[in-house]
Amino acid sequence: MAVPIILIVALIAGVISIVMAYYFSRLVLKEDPGNERMVEVAGYIEKGATTYLKIQYKILGIFVGVLFIILILFLPTEMTAGNIPILSGDLNWEQGLAYLIGAIGSMLAGWLGMYVGVKANTRAAQGCTIGTKKGFDIAFFGGSVMGLAVVGVALIGVSTLYWIFQNPLIVLGFSFGASSIALFMKCGGGIYTKTADVGADLVGKAEYNLPEDDPRNPATIADNVGDNVGDIAGMGSDLFDSYVASIVAAMILAAALVAGDLSGSFIIYPIVLSGVGLIASLIGIFFIKWKGSEDPGKSLNLGTYFSTLIFAGLGALFAFLMMLDPLLDPSYHAKIWLDYFAVLLGLASGLIIGFTSDYFTRDDKKPTRNMAHAAQEGHAVVILSGLSYGLISVVPPAIGISFAMAFAFILDGFLGVAMAAVGMLAIVGTIVSNDAYGPIVDNARAIAEQGELGDDIIRTADRLDSAGNTAKAITKGFAIGAANLTVLALLFSFAEEAGITIIDLLDVKVLIGGFIGVVVPALFSALLIRAVQRNAAKMVDEIRRQFESNPKILTGEEAADFSKTIDIATRGSIRELVAPSIISIVIPLVVGILFGVAALGAFLAGAILSGFVFAVMMSNAGGAWDNAKKWIEDGNLGGKGTEIHKASITGDTVGDPFKDTAGPSINTLLVVMSLTASIFMGFLLLFSGGAGLLAFLI
Amino acid sequence: MAVPIILIVALIAGVISIVMAYYFSRLVLKEDPGNERMVEVAGYIEKGATTYLKIQYKILGIFVGVLFIILILFLPTEMTAGNIPILSGDLNWEQGLAYLIGAIGSMLAGWLGMYVGVKANTRAAQGCTIGTKKGFDIAFFGGSVMGLAVVGVALIGVSTLYWIFQNPLIVLGFSFGASSIALFMKCGGGIYTKTADVGADLVGKAEYNLPEDDPRNPATIADNVGDNVGDIAGMGSDLFDSYVASIVAAMILAAALVAGDLSGSFIIYPIVLSGVGLIASLIGIFFIKWKGSEDPGKSLNLGTYFSTLIFAGLGALFAFLMMLDPLLDPSYHAKIWLDYFAVLLGLASGLIIGFTSDYFTRDDKKPTRNMAHAAQEGHAVVILSGLSYGLISVVPPAIGISFAMAFAFILDGFLGVAMAAVGMLAIVGTIVSNDAYGPIVDNARAIAEQGELGDDIIRTADRLDSAGNTAKAITKGFAIGAANLTVLALLFSFAEEAGITIIDLLDVKVLIGGFIGVVVPALFSALLIRAVQRNAAKMVDEIRRQFESNPKILTGEEAADFSKTIDIATRGSIRELVAPSIISIVIPLVVGILFGVAALGAFLAGAILSGFVFAVMMSNAGGAWDNAKKWIEDGNLGGKGTEIHKASITGDTVGDPFKDTAGPSINTLLVVMSLTASIFMGFLLLFSGGAGLLAFLI
């Protein structure tokens, strides 16, 4: 069976993306890394980051290997009951291989992005000595490497696998591989970065009044490493995972629509459209590079809007071209256009979520201002204010997602919803680039401080840094919205695969499934918050120990022992991610085995809905606390060192694991649980034909 | 049509209950109210409480009146589309009347309980001068008045209305009346009590280092008033509401089972069984009175277990007697026994939830201990620790409720689930008595302090007070579990009434309904927390103003102006409850009108599940923070006045609106929303026959 040649668009876009990533990385690497001290600090950061990745990847290797064996031996690609590969002798090599490739691809993209990220930081700091433009360019190119690598690897993987196997379920294996890595990278990175950050703040800032990034603080380097492993590698693998999953969900739903006739162009529309999105992202990246130096913060956001616009235009053009494709059955012409409009809905809802996050976290808007004023009433009131604004901020994006879902469904049923997700994620190249820019400039600022480049240069780096924070609100909103639409699409494709046409809440089994689903994101967040808290406590002890055992560290005469703090963050983050990751695979399976696949569907729905509430709440509350603190530090309400400032630091510290550990990890949790449900379907159908072990009772 | 005479059991039990309440109140009132200063303070508290209730009841009068008119004019008792009373000329008098009686009954029980509560506090304080036993007896009798009044009014109301009209839907009107009052009483009381408490703590304790209940603190009296309006009147109306709703839900489901043949005894089984439960509660109350003086805390909990046991025994005896009832069709004999076992399941799950709350909030268990130790790392870590333990504490009760629901369903379908709720609430007389004991001894302690009864007497009062806190964990767990099972039963009875047999999550309308449902408890909690926070800020300003404008207040030479702070708490709590209460009625109606009754069912399910998570989390986290602080105040980890203590106060202050405002109000929210859905059914069926206005689109 021949594959429509139009698929080559996606493949070519993917290859261009990798080439550009390579080109940008060359541009970054040839820049001046700065003075000796800067190179030294950057070296520490690089070493810390690679050490972490090495340990992480070693454990991931075992995990991936075990799942690979389970896949090929026990889980059939075709999800009918009883066809256990090891019994039938027909091992599930193809999906297993796709799984391996997905996992390796995700690790590769993460490693590449981080490698360039840790090279770009010191160069961006040095660039700031030449000017804002130079500093911005280096940092942004560094970030783009991550963005382009993620999208390039994903698109090449998806299109090649489909080209070879012509089976969306094989691509599902690829997606599962990417997700299982993402879960570890996101949780582990999130725990790492906040262990270091919270630890550094609690002792360094609160007890010893050291400024941010002060080289005397033993956790400074670990904090910088954390930005890389959490915000670059973690965020990258998270979006990689949503990106692939949205494409796969759309393909599975499209395959159901064409009733298994995979010869036409309709089924590869999601892939190729994503290729078009990548081209739009590239244009957006060049736009940002062109405009970037003038007002960095605004440019990053403008670039996102510009990519969106270009994508909308190119998408329409491409839909028009599809009309000329002889391999597209004319009966699908209308659908291509309906799906195109669904894509626009996805983009629109992404923007709504982004705007909401922006509004609720910007220091010139009411919520963050009120939160800062709440600091005047003390620590507790800052917390109450942040929590309540965080919860309220869930409402607009929930309405946005509901509208997008409803209208996308009106346009083209479940496939419409999946296409809305594809649309939202199509410009992920730009999103990840903007996002990875953040930690690079954050590190650059730290290196400028430690390399003693002087106040002027630090101020320049500061400007670049605050631009990163502005962009972060929108990119986070996008990530949450995209993940949410994606998992909704996965829920529908799961039901499609399981042959479930009804998930009835008046069936008590199903209701219990939904109940467990609603509880899981709460439990998962709690475990991650506890992980950060416990690990940060160890960090606090270590920092206090260093200051007390060697008073010369505080006077700056002797260097702090960075390796100890890095070690605590590394070991702790890896140890603590075991429980949450087990949850995400074991609980869906237990629900499916006991209560059946319909209950598992309700479980997923419950987890998606409550996960959305927790993710948005935590991410917005965390962002607002952070900015309220910064606003006070800018000299408002008395400025630094006051009791009001201390109360705002409490808010920020509570917000840290909210916004950078638990909140964003929920996205990945949802994707992994949804994919687990689909991948293990053949296995679940063994239990009373998918009705669950307890079917005879309830 | 004759009503089975066995219903008289419930009526008699109700009357006995009221007689006992009257007798107990006489016992309390004839005690010595103590010295002049104590009478003065108690007078302030009483005046504050009655002022609040008067204003609150005035507004409630308008609200109830408006809903009464809407009910009789627009909402048919029989829930078929198109039979709008005002058009058919057949006004809905009967249900409207039942609604009025329910509302008035709830107000009456609340008023009576609070009247005796504010009389008992000073008498209990004076009783402490005679001995622990005397103090305990007075406080416990005072609390029992509330417990017995609640159950008595409810049972008399339900049984009389059923006797007259023989229609469970008329009793539904009574339930709706009780709930709409409960919502205002619970939210308003919760905001009041925490406005005063948080305000008093933030300035008095944190800024001026005044001890608890110090008469120099201008918010002290408001704080004491708050305990009465929040914990006595609020909690009482909350449980009144769940109690009635559980009976009604069971009756509606039983009526469906007997296919409308209401002449047998089967349908009144839930009412009569509740009467049996009341007798068990009375025995439990006497048991507590008998054992109470030895170890007050243990006795209160032992009393709960004892009531449970007695009820289990009496319930079996009664089920046996039912077998002899000639009006019970023998085909229901097996069902009576199955439902009896469902009742036992309800009781068991109530205990599980109680035990969990107890474990997660007791200062000699790991969670609270760890939270106290977290205070060593500062304010932020206490918060993170409490939030994560709170979220984790959701898991055991969720499993408990799931098991209870599953097994109750296995026993007797939806009716089994409703009977589990009836079972859990049957001993509500004991529960409310224990609960109302808490604020009475809390106030007694304050009055002992202000009446200068000396350290010994204060220590005695302290012992009684801490017993109240121990019992609180279990009673709160019961309240949440009971409300949860009740609203599940209401969901099933709603579906029964609407003729919905499927609530399909793969229907996008329904999924959106579920989504909105999951978001509502989050929004509702946020609004209540904000209400407390905003109002407390006003309180803080007022307290600071008094201290600054008149330095003699702090030296004790001049009295603080209590009326100002009481006024802030009263006005604020009433103003701030408008938004949350509108939500609970308007949102279900909007969902039902737009997306139809099946989506409304999913909305209720989503709200029930996410509401459970928020309610349990907030209530347990709040309780644990409170106890961690108290444990530190007992001299651990350095004791009072240290930075650790201050951090623990931050936890307690965040926990205050969690555990006493938002958390417990969610129960009422869920009941009100469920009843709104049922009561407005006939109206909702007007929109595309219940499919919703948007049915033609999605």
CB A145 within 8 A of CB A116: yes
Residues of B in contact with A602 (CB under 8 A): 505
Q: Range with the lowest mean pLDDT among A474-483, B103-112, B307-316, B584-593?
A: A474-483
Average pLDDT over residues B371-387: 94
Which value does ipTM take for this structure?
0.94
B417 in contact with A, Cβ within 8 Å: yes
CB A213 within 8 A of CB A121: no
d(C-alpha B376, C-alpha A537), whole Å: 9
Residue A359 tokens, joined: 């509004």
- CA-atom Rg of chain A in angstroms: 24
Helix (H, G, I), strand (E, B) or coil at A498: helix
Residues of B in contact with A609 (CB under 8 A): 514-515, 518-519, 606, 610
Question: A388-398: per-residue pLDDT in tens?
Answer: 999 999 999 99
Residue B541 pLDDT > 80: yes
- CA-atom Rg of chain B in angstroms: 24
Please tell me the predicted confidence (pLDDT) of residue A247: 96
Selection from A247, A259, A274, A272 nearest residue A331 by Cα: A259
Residue A512 tokens, joined: 């219990």
The whole-angstrom distance between B366's CA and the closest CA on chain A is 14
Residue A638 Ramachandran class (φ > 0 left, ψ -120 to 50 alpha, else beta)? left
Question: B464-492: per-residue pLDDT in tens?
Answer: 988 887 787 778 888 888 889 999 999 99
CA angle centred on A309, ends A306 and A311, rounded to 5°: 110
DSSP class per residue in B391-441: HHTTHHHHHHHHHHHHHHHHHHHHHHHHHHHHHHHHTHHHHHHHHHHHHHH
Residue whose tokens read 């309906």: A338
**Residue A14 CB partners (closer than 8 Å, separation 6+):** A151, A152, A153, A154, A155, A156, A159, A275, A278
Please tell me the predicted confidence (pLDDT) of residue A511: 96
Average pLDDT over residues A197-220: 84
Please tell me the predicted confidence (pLDDT) of residue B588: 97
Please tell me the predicted confidence (pLDDT) of residue B530: 94
Q: Give the confidence band of A647 by pLDDT, cuts at 50, 70, 90.
A: very high
Selection from A270, A252, A256 nearest residue A159 by Cα: A270
Residue B1 pLDDT > 60: no
Best interface-test mutation with A: which of B202, B407, B518 has the largest number of A CBs within 10 A? B518
Please tell me the predicted confidence (pLDDT) of residue B503: 96
Residue A116: how many CA atoms within 13 Å on its side-chain side?
31
CA B216 to centroid of chain Cα atoms: 32
Please tell me the predicted confidence (pLDDT) of residue B698: 78
Helix (H, G, I), strand (E, B) or coil at A89: coil
CA distances from B178 to A349, B106, B244, B486 (A): 41, 5, 8, 14
Which of A525, A617, A657 lies closest to B522 in CB terms? A617
CB A339 within 8 A of CB A246: no
**Residue B413 CB partners (closer than 8 Å, separation 6+):** B253
Residues of A in contact with B650 (CB under 8 A): 378-380, 383, 650
Question: A32-81: per-residue pLDDT in tens?
Answer: 999 999 999 999 999 999 999 999 999 999 999 999 999 999 888 876 76
Please tell me the predicted confidence (pLDDT) of residue B123: 96
Q: At what angle do helices B643-657 and B508-549 cross, to 10 degrees?
A: 130
Cβ-defined contact of A654 to B384 (cutoff 8 Å): yes
DSSP class per residue in B119-162: HHHHHHHHHHHH-HHHHHHHHHHHHHHHHHHHHHHHHHHHHHHH
d(C-alpha B202, C-alpha B536), whole Å: 9
Please tell me the predicted confidence (pLDDT) of residue A139: 94
Please tell me the predicted confidence (pLDDT) of residue B614: 97
The whole-angstrom distance between B48's CA and the closest CA on chain A is 26
Best interface-test mutation with B: which of A379, A485, A544, A698 has the largest number of B CBs within 10 A? A379
Residue B669: how many CA atoms within 13 Å on its side-chain side?
41
Please tell me the predicted confidence (pLDDT) of residue A296: 85
The pair phi, psi for residue B504, each rounded to 5°, is: -95, 115
Please tell me the predicted confidence (pLDDT) of residue B23: 95
Residues of A in contact with B662 (CB under 8 A): none
Q: Which residue in chain B has the smallest CA separation from A511?
A: B605
Torsion of CA A263, A264, A265, A268, to 10 degrees: -50
Enumerate the β-bridge partners of residue B504. A504
Residue whose tokens read 């509004």: A359
- Output DSSP code: residue B376: G
Listed by number, the residues of chain B in 468-497 with a beta carbon closer than 8 Å to a beta carbon of chain A are: 488, 492, 495
CA distances from A491 to A248, A253, A416, A417, B380 (A): 12, 11, 13, 11, 37
Please tell me the predicted confidence (pLDDT) of residue B263: 76
Selection from B545, B540, B633 nearest residue A375 by Cα: B540
- For chain B, the helix, strand and coil percentages under 3-state DSSP, each to the nearest 5: 85, 0, 15
Residue B271 pLDDT > 70: yes
d(C-alpha B523, C-alpha B528), whole Å: 9
Cβ-defined contact of A384 to B529 (cutoff 8 Å): yes
Residue B619: how many CA atoms within 13 Å on its side-chain side?
31
Please tell me the predicted confidence (pLDDT) of residue B636: 94
Mean pLDDT of chain B: 91
CB A497 within 8 A of CB A377: no
CB B154 within 8 A of CB B449: no
Listed by number, the residues of chain B in 321-380 with a beta carbon closer than 8 Å to a beta carbon of chain A are: 374, 377-380
Helix (H, G, I), strand (E, B) or coil at B504: strand
Mean pLDDT of chain A: 91
Torsion of CA A462, A464, A470, A475, to 10 degrees: -130
Cβ-defined contact of B398 to A515 (cutoff 8 Å): yes
Enumerate the β-bridge partners of residue B4. none
Q: Which residue in chain B has the smallest CA separation from A370?
A: B534
d(C-alpha B562, C-alpha B573), whole Å: 17
Average pLDDT over residues A286-292: 83
d(C-alpha B127, C-alpha B449), whole Å: 14
Selection from A674, A679, A570 nearest residue A241 by Cα: A674
Residue A82 pLDDT > 80: no
CB B649 within 8 A of CB B146: no
Q: At what angle do helices A508-549 and B379-392 cross, to 10 degrees?
A: 160
Average pLDDT over residues B164-186: 93
Please tell me the predicted confidence (pLDDT) of residue A27: 94
Question: B4-31: per-residue pLDDT in tens?
Answer: 888 999 999 999 999 999 999 999 999 9
Residue B77 pLDDT > 80: yes
Residue B3 Ramachandran class (φ > 0 left, ψ -120 to 50 alpha, else beta)? beta
CA distances from B215 to B121, B382, B568 (A): 16, 29, 18
Residue B144 tokens, joined: 């029992």
The pTM assigned to this predicted structure is: 0.95
CB A624 within 8 A of CB A553: no
Selection from B311, B332, B312 nearest residue B323 by Cα: B332
d(C-alpha B684, C-alpha A564), whole Å: 65
Which of A391, A395, A605 lies closest to B505 in CB terms? A605
Helix (H, G, I), strand (E, B) or coil at A504: strand
- Output DSSP code: residue A429: H
By CB neighbour count within 10 A (0-12 exposed, 13-18 middle, 19+ buried), where does B274 fall? buried
CB B308 within 8 A of CB B276: no
By CB neighbour count within 10 A (0-12 exposed, 13-18 middle, 19+ buried), where does B337 fall? middle
Average pLDDT over residues B653-661: 94
d(C-alpha A35, C-alpha A51), whole Å: 24
Q: At what angle do helices A379-392 and A597-633 cross, to 10 degrees?
A: 130
CB B533 within 8 A of CB A388: yes
d(C-alpha A684, C-alpha A589), whole Å: 8
The whole-angstrom distance between A138's CA and the closest CA on chain B is 36
CB A447 within 8 A of CB A403: no
The whole-angstrom distance between B392's CA and the closest CA on chain A is 5
d(C-alpha B164, C-alpha B158), whole Å: 10
- Output DSSP code: residue B264: S
Question: B286-315: per-residue pLDDT in tens?
Answer: 988 887 667 888 888 888 889 999 999 999
**Residue B604 CB partners (closer than 8 Å, separation 6+):** B487, B490, B491, B494, B517, B588, B670, B673, B674, B677
Selection from B583, B585, B456 nearest residue B527 by Cα: B583
B613 in contact with A, Cβ within 8 Å: yes
CB B46 within 8 A of CB B118: yes
